[in-house]
Amino acid sequence: MKRSLSWTETLITVIIRTCGYSAVVFVLLIFFFLLRQGVPALAEVKLGNLFSTRWYPIEDHFGILPLITGSIIVTVVAMLIAIPFGIGTAVFLAELAPRWLREILKPLVELLGGLPSVVLGFLGILVLAPYLRTLLNIPTGLTALAGGLLLGGIAVPTTVSIAEDALDAVPQSYREGALAMGATRWQTIWRVTLPAARSGVLTALMLGIGRTIGETMAVMMVTGNAPVLAVKLGSIFSPVRTMTATIAAEMGEVANGSTYYHVLFFIGLVLFVISLIVNIIASSVVFKSRKRAERVLS
Amino acid sequence: MRFLRVGIIFLFFFLAACGSGATQSPSTTQVSAYIQNKGSDTLVNLALAWAEKYQAENPAVSISVTGGGSGTGIAALINGTVDLANASRKIEPGEASQLKAKGKDPVEFIVARDAIAVIVNPTNPVSQLTLQQISDIYSGKINNWSQVGGKDLPVVRLSREVNSGTHVYFRDTVIRLGQKGNTTLFATDTLLLPSSEGIVSELRQNPDAIGYDGLGYVPKDLKVIAVAKDANSPYVLPSAKTANNKTYAIARDLYMYTAGQPSGAIKKYLDWILTPEAQQIVEQLGFVPLQK
């Protein structure tokens, strides 16, 4: 049976398609803008200078390695907190908590996710950093650890909210099947529910990482912003400077089109590429798991 | 259901937050002149105080003051978005030529003086340092307080961000001891904090920390270090008096810049800033007034 689409449907299709493509177009436009502003840095600054360990841009020391390692170390600490706490909370909410408790807890967790990071930054600078200093007996509390803890806290609500939705979407029959086979509750969660919701949980973690590596304000307030190369394990307990904090703190000062300006955009480009890599890895893992799930369930 | 709950929670917070809020009625005075004033964070409180007083006396003039740093203010002056740029350092030759390229000469006005205080936690027994010692601390040669007569504790260096005029002035005057061609840098592990408040709150709770900031921003509960120009000079505490008679080593002029000779409302405002009445405000805010 043939049916021609009415013009309203055609219009709606066009609008929806435009929305879909626009996301891709915006990302590409941003990428090209970053390339145009950032790539000149490679020509203007010697590579030996750009990949050195000294960041003092107002006198042409443009070493961005300390900034890259700073961002990475803070993100790693944050994920070490956000992954167990995020998944743990999501599992509790989806699998173990009674209905009424979940109805209260989930909106509260989401409310936590809506807290402006600058507010958390205040908490970090006035409560967390002094506490860490006395607790660990380190010279200053403004460290990668403080930044990581705070960012972990920022990433947890995002992770919990999405991971819980994914777990909730797992059909009840899976759990019933597992329990009927004699599996314990823990075995059901660990072997059946979590693997079935794997792609959603991974998406949650990736969004959490994305939020962490791009976070600026809270990090700028609590990490001390000292551009030290953070490659030792002890670097967790010393101040670091992240890429985002550098861009935020210094962008206001630079003259448009100067070398310094191009280097800041180059840092933005590095940040963009890092998020891109994280996303590509994540989506490839998600894709793989889906194929396996299909194989198992068919 | 969930949205409703979130809504109710929000409503509670909102009501709690609004309970003490007061409403302000908009001014109905006719405004004939707007002055945009932007720049140095060191100067921002002073500029605000001036603007408030001046507007109270001249309701026809509206002055908006924003901070952001000396470089930010001068950049805005070059881009033509402000009338007056506040700076805690002299305009750099590069900036001046950028402005000249737009057909305007920078005109400089010294509006006040400022002393930079070196500050530590009140529990720190060290109370005096020479410029050379402070330089060695910040460049990373001195890493323990016992090297300058204090306790056996590591030194935690605090500084303002690189886009702060105070940072540049401190680097040139203290770390490089005012010597041209000296390229000593801050130690890499110096904490660069984005605000005066960040420095103050860290100094308040950290007995190992040393920081610096404009004398006008030093709270009473922190300890100010007496500074000597060299080992043979007397140790001097910063104050309005010692900054004016130049016995204190780390003091400087504060500037306002205009693009081209000012005229009209801007000129009147600048003239007023130099009157004793306006300079009295300078003193109240912990800076150093000009005529004395």
Q: Where are the beta strands (DSSP E) in A28-162?
A: 55-56, 61-62
Which range is least confidently modeled, A62-76, A113-127, A195-209, B7-21?
Answer: B7-21
pLDDT digit string (tens) for A212-256? 888 888 898 899 899 988 888 888 898 999 999 999 888 876 778
Give which of A225, A228, A259, A263 to mutate to test B binding, by max B Cβ within 10 Å. Answer: A225
Question: Which residues in B lie closer than 8 A to residue A140 (C-beta atoms)?
Answer: 156, 191, 202, 206, 208-209
In this complex, do A58 and B168 lie within 8 Å of one another by their Cβ atoms? yes
Q: Is the dihedral of CA B80, B83, B87, B91 positive or negative?
A: positive
Backbone angles phi and psi of A285, in degrees to 5: -65, -45
Residue B2 pLDDT more than 80?
Answer: no
Residues of B in contact with A58 (CB under 8 A): 162-163, 168
- Taking the CA atoms of chain B, what radius of gyration do you get in angstroms? 22
DSSP string covering A262-278, please?
HHHHHHHHHHHHHHHHH
* B194 interfaces chain A, CB cutoff of 8 Å: yes
* CB atoms B188 and A226 under 8 Å: yes
Percent helix, strand and coil across chain B, each rounded to 5? 40, 25, 40
What pLDDT is recorded for position B15? 47
Residues of A with CB under 8 A from a CB of B: 53-54, 56-59, 61, 66, 103-104, 106-108, 110-111, 125-126, 129-130, 133, 139-142, 220-221, 224-228, 238-239, 241, 249-250, 252-253, 255
- Of the residues A112, A118, A123, A140, the best mutation for testing chain B's interface (the one with the most B CB atoms within 10 Å of its CB) is A140
Please state which of the ranges A137-141, B13-17, B29-33 shows the lowest mean pLDDT. Answer: B13-17
Q: What is the DSSP string of B175-216?
A: ITTT-TT------TT-EEESSHHHHHHHHHH-TTEEEEEEGG
In this prediction, residues A22-37 reach a mean pLDDT of 92
Distance from CA of B154 to the nearest CA of A (A): 7
Contact between A253 and B162 using a beta-carbon 8 Å cutoff? yes
Query: Would you state the pLDDT for residue B70?
Result: 86
Q: Measured between alpha carbons, how far is A119 from A126 in angstroms, rounded to an integer?
A: 11
Q: Which residues of B touch A220 (CB under 8 A)?
A: 194
- Is a pLDDT exceeding 70 seen at residue A1? no
Q: What is the ipTM of this complex?
A: 0.79
Backbone angles phi, psi at B102, to 5 degrees: -90, 5
**Alpha helix (H) residue ranges in B61-183:** 70-78, 93-101, 131-139, 165-170
Cα–Cα dist A193/A295, whole Å: 16
pLDDT of residue B19: 44
State percent of chain A over pLDDT 70: 94
Measured between CB atoms, does B71 come within 8 Å of chain A?
yes
| Token pair listed for A67 | 């900034």
Residue with tokens 């380190």: A138
Residue B23 has pLDDT above 60, yes or no: no
Q: What is the largest CA-CA distance in chain A?
A: 78
Could you tell me how many CB contacts below 8 A there are between chain A and chain B?
98
B208 CB near a chain A CB, below 8 Å? yes
Within a 13 Å sphere around the CA of A22, how many CA atoms are in the beta-carbon half? 6
Among the partner-chain residues A58, A103, A125, the one whose CB lies closest to the CB of B201 is: A125
Whether the CB of B66 is below 8 Å from some CB of chain A: the reply is no
A59-84 mean pLDDT = 92
**Which pair of tokens denotes residue A279?**
């996303």
What is the model's pTM? 0.76
